[in-house]
Amino acid sequence: MSTDALKKRKSKVLRGEGGTPETKRGRGEVDQDVRFYNEEGELDSRDPQQDFLQYKESCESLVTIMSEIQELKASGAKEGNVEVELRRMQGCIHFMNMKKLNRLAHMRLKRGRDQTHEAKQKVDVLHLQLQNLLYEVMHLQKEISKCLEFKLVQSILC
């Protein structure tokens, strides 16, 4: 290939200060309706117990589908057979569902760790304040005892 052909194949991205990935477009791109799927938003509305049950069902279905594919291939079905392809597509759907549930579980775990870390930081701040107050109390008690000793010594001398 010539260098001119390579230059034509490279996509050019306009990079600007503060631009978001949605606003960076090449020359030939047309404005499209950009939609994003937010799994973190979905995480709040989902029940972890239901996700676990759905995960178990997907695993069982995937095992069943794989055994059916194996039986079909053992019975002489060829690679491009409609039944095999149908089962393969069902298996892919269950596998994608399992990956999604795994991502959600990891997000829940990260959220729990973050909340635990924040709580620990609050406890550390409160513990440090308590230590400072205890040190102040101890210091004031020493000052009081010094004052009382001074009064005692002064009364003895007079």
The pLDDT value given to residue 63: 96
| 30 CB-near residues (< 8 Å, 6+ apart) | none
Domain boundaries, the chain: 47-109
The pLDDT value given to residue 17: 46
The pLDDT value given to residue 59: 95
The pLDDT value given to residue 16: 46
User: 132 is written with which tokens?
Assistant: 């400072």
pLDDT tens-digit series, residues 141-152: 999 999 888 877
pLDDT tens-digit series, residues 4-48: 555 555 554 444 444 444 444 455 555 566 665 677 778 888 899
Mean pLDDT (the chain, rounded): 82
In this prediction, residue 77 has a pLDDT band, given cuts at 50, 70 and 90, of confident
